[in-house]
Amino acid sequence: MISGTPRTPGFRSGFVTLVGRPNVGKSTLLNQLVGTKVSIVSDKPQTTRNQVRGVLGTPSSQVVFIDTPGIHKPRTELGRRLNQRSLETFGAVDVVCFLIEAQAPIGAGDRFIAAALALVDTPVVLVVNKVDAAGKGEVAGHLAQAASTLGDFAAYVPLSAYTGEGTEALLGEIDARLPQGPRYYPEDVVTDQPDTFLAAELVREKLLARARQELPHSLAVTVEEIEERPGPLLVMRAVVRVERDSQKAIIIGRGGSVLKAAGTEARKELEALLGAKVHLETFVKVEPDWQRRPDALDRLGY
């Protein structure tokens, strides 16, 4: 947690973690709540690999949201570490938002998360997401089933992270449970992620959109160098890591087409986010079995 910030009488603040299985919409909800893109979004499972913070401020409160990796049955050391990162947030925040899907049956993964949440004293708001893809009767039935099979929660909120429907109700439930506290971040801050992290994640997002089924988990991107030049111009060097030579060929594409297109899209979004011209250089490197090697995971920040 961040300390040392002056307190304002009556001001409320706190940390809220978004948890759930992969692909339940945690990153989409985070972006919707803070009003801008701070976490990448993909239809590939386990897209989020780090705890991404998004900050929402009002005159009377500040909420620091933490987007966590989807909790799943791990098959690699990377998967085990991602699960651990998510589980560690349960008792270290002021409110937990537990996301399930309105149109998907409650499964073993949901029950595993609910059982882990039952072991902590943190208030939990059950969020039934993707109501835009389900009928009213289906949503009501899902809420009833969740209450009977997953346990008691502090509140139940149906919403659509995609359209924003129901997010005001969620914010109301969160605000009611925030303690009095300081403003942890300046008023104009929406995320505490460094520019290098944002750049790497955007490149990974664009590559995920083009990746074949076997690639998403084998793909890691780091921005290892950033240089500020007059203009203003930011020169960034991104390294894309895969586990096999065949994957390298897919990422590069015929005549470099895939890598070039992903880099161009990432650069345009970065320029909009950072308010500066960006020159993005991308390189692809084969690092065998990096997901399973603790030394590689440590070096890559996982």
Write out the H or E segment, with its range, that includes residue 241.
strand 233-242
pLDDT tens across 115-124, in order?
A: 999 999 999 9
Going along the chain from its start, the domains and CATH numbers come out as 7-182 (3.40.50.300), 195-299 (3.30.300.20)
Mean pLDDT for 119-147 is: 90
pLDDT tens across 42-84, in order?
A: 666 666 656 778 999 988 999 999 988 888 887 888 888 888 8
| pLDDT class of 135 with cuts at 50, 70, 90 | confident
The vertex-135 CA angle with 123 and 68, nearest 5°, equals 35
Contact 229, 242 (CB under 8 A): no
CB-count exposure of residue 7 (10 Å: 0-12, 13-18, 19+)? exposed
Q: Are strands 233-242 and 220-229 parallel, antiparallel or unpaired?
A: antiparallel
Query: What pTM does this model have?
Result: 0.83
